[in-house]
Chain A
């Protein structure tokens, strides 16, 4: 009886998941082995042909490299900055609410508006960024700097949520352990390193995996900020997917990349949850 009640509660979420996630996934999986025309007609069996076609496309392979570069730039930067900010503000003081609310404001920005602002800041040689930094760079015209700008923007987008999660983790640590350690003569640094960090490690892991997921799936900021440029150097896997699936109507790329990315995300998430169980 109790179990039946549980199923009733789960039903709406399960229905949505089946309707919007699992059915389309099944359709994509089946479609990835078929030849399908732009108008959706099934023309025949493709076997592994679609996968071979996508995996042998040099621009798909370079989109993987671009995505990896983004992850390498973004993930450590994002983790370091959010952890630093949350660490500095972990003790509630009279004035901490001011930086706290400042750090939370990125949540209020829409992604595309933010991307347009970044685009304006870094546009051309006469850009605002050059004026402020005293540099003479064409930020969005060089492959590496364009990717770096993208990573900084990624931090801006993820910062607020990660900050809130880490901050709440810090503030929920049982004070008695810290106080006891303090009485025993532990320095602030030792307390931070030996007690607080291990206490928030679970949450830190969650934010890292969330950031990793965001980084691997990044496409919308690319779409607005760089459009994959310059010279396709910021074309990430998901942006490549978007271009091929939606702009070019390439069903082979659409189905196979969807399947591969879901498989990849599933692996990451299962790693994340296994880690959580360990903790």
Chain B
């Protein structure tokens, strides 16, 4: 028995040690496209789905709104599964640093942010959300973030030993922004590919229409999120630019979307910047998402509009 215990402890030690070495090694390089959103405390946040994830560059915003005028850093904490809900709400709370006030919160909205599978009630949606990355980890700020890798990294750790990249068009920045470049070795994105992806996206959205529906749960937590963030700083609601076909689809699927958002903005006394008609000005690479250059242009426009909307540039004193 003694021999078995010694052997088991020896075996488990190698297993545990090897595991932590690999996790540590992975954390030193590229992990995945959301890891960088979990490795620092944030003073201010960009919130929303993938359009905000790819389309708003915190650094460009900070170039226009001086960092010393607000509680920074500004982190892009948006991703494609982060719909409004209790899970996202709690993650946002945990993500913020403890310094008081004067924060910027850019909340991007689209009909997709308010959807969940048909037939799902409150508990069902909450349970579904809790299985996403923001629900599985409790640590949103450590660097390296072992908790994220251990709970959310959905791949083998062999990737720690090789050059690990999802896609060489993508650059994951430390501030959470995921930048898409049109130029790359593997997939140079030209007009034909853009057209194909746009068609595929549109077809995908149409298919989703029969599976998803707008949920009161999402609306409820959207309002709760605004209320909480308003108590912490200045909140701006933003609808991102998309191509005309995608916009038409969204407007047909939820005709009162803009009036709903306007109503919430009015009730909560916060600005609503609707750029949805400006798809011609800010081009996307797939009908829905901005790429590197247009994301920077859009972020510049957004920063200017925030300033124009009465953002005071007095130095921030915590």
Asked whether A and B interact, the reply is no
> Which positions in B face A, CB cutoff 8 Å?
none
> Which positions in A face B, CB cutoff 8 Å?
none
